């Protein structure tokens, strides 16, 4: 199974990618993970990527494409993969088709997670991260015992730049503009599957597996 997962920030895409990849026994290939490794490693690409991400903007295609090409050529991705966070636009989708064509492969399915935007704003803007251990809590859904203090280690909780309402709304707007044509692109290719990403994590996983199962 060679599949792509698309969905707005806050749709639980990373969580589903992890679970689905494990259940389908294929590697999860996430640009988020690749970016974070570059950022924490302080590479030149990482520094460039971080400046864009802190503003809620997308990392430029040429930076991302190079990393994805390397990743998909690795041994563990030869029997299939689940891409999370790539492609984000039609240009990247065309690049992906080219990368796969060079490897004599093609995509089997694109799974779109659909959610309500106001729900996303509520979910994400309430997140608070620990400066000390990275633990994430939520002001409504997982409130700390003492306001502003991490339940896990007693460190200071803060709102990441990514989780500020203004940044979230900007990211949703960017997602809408860039991803609507992407979804159309894959619909035209006849490989688009859309599910509602509401309810529990297990509910969404079940829906995703049912949709993907019809495809393999
Ligand atoms: Zn902590």
Cα-Cα-Cα-Cα torsion 28, 138, 173, 61, nearest 10 degrees, comes to -30
Instruction: Tell me what pLDDT residue 27 has.
Output: 92
Active-site residue (options: 2, 13, 71, 128): 13
Q: Which among 205, 26, 30, 179 is positioned nearest to 105, based on CA atoms?
A: 26
For residue 87, cis peptide bond before it (omega within 30 degrees of 0):
yes
Sequence-ordered list of residues with C-beta below 8 angstroms from that of 74, at least 6 positions apart, any chain: none
Cα-Cα-Cα-Cα torsion 203, 207, 212, 213, nearest 10 degrees, comes to 90
Active site residue 215: no
Active-site residue (options: 2, 28, 127, 207): 127
Angle in degrees, CA 56, 31, 29, rounded to 5 = 150
Task: Give me ligand 1 centre to Cα 136, in Å.
Answer: 8
Active site residue 171: yes
Q: Report the CATH fold assignment for 2-115+178-213.
A: Rossmann fold (3.40.50)
Residue 187: pLDDT over 90: yes
Q: Residue 215: pLDDT band by 50, 70, 90 thresholds? A: low
Task: Give me ligand 1 centre to Cα 129, in Å.
Answer: 8
CA distances from 207 to 64, 80, 144, 200, 202 (A): 30, 20, 32, 11, 9
> Which position has the higher pLDDT, 49 or 190?
190
Mean pLDDT of 65-81: 86
Q: Taking each helix axis from N to C terminus, what angle separates 201-213 and 13-24, rounded to the nearest 10 degrees?
A: 50
Q: The whole model's pTM is what?
A: 0.75
């Amino acid at each position: 199974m060679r599949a792509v997962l698309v969905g707005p920030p806050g749709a639980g895409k990373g969580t589903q990618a992890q679970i689905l990849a494990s259940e389908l026994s294929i590697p999860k290939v996430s640009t988020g993970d690749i970016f974070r490794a570059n950022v924490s490693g302080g590479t030149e690409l990482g520094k460039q990527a971080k400046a864009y991400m802190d503003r809620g903007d997308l990392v430029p295609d040429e930076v991302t494409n190079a990393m994805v090409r390397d990743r998909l050529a690795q041994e563990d991705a030869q029997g299939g993969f689940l891409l999370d966070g790539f492609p984000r636009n039609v240009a990247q989708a065309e690049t992906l088709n080219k990368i796969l064509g060079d490897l004599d492969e093609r995509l089997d399915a694109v799974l779109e997670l659909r959610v309500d935007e106001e729900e996303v704003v509520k979910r994400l803007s309430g997140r608070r991260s620990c400066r000390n251990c990275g633990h994430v809590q939520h002001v409504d859904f997982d409130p700390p015992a003492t306001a502003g203090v991490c339940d896990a280690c007693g460190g200071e909780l803060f709102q990441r730049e990514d989780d500020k309402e203004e940044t979230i709304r900007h990211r949703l707007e960017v997602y809408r503009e860039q991803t609507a044509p992407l979804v159309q692109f894959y619909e035209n290719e006849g490989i688009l599957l859309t599910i509602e990403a509401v309810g529990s994590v297990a509910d969404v996983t079940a829906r995703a597996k049912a949709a993907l199962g019809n495809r393999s």
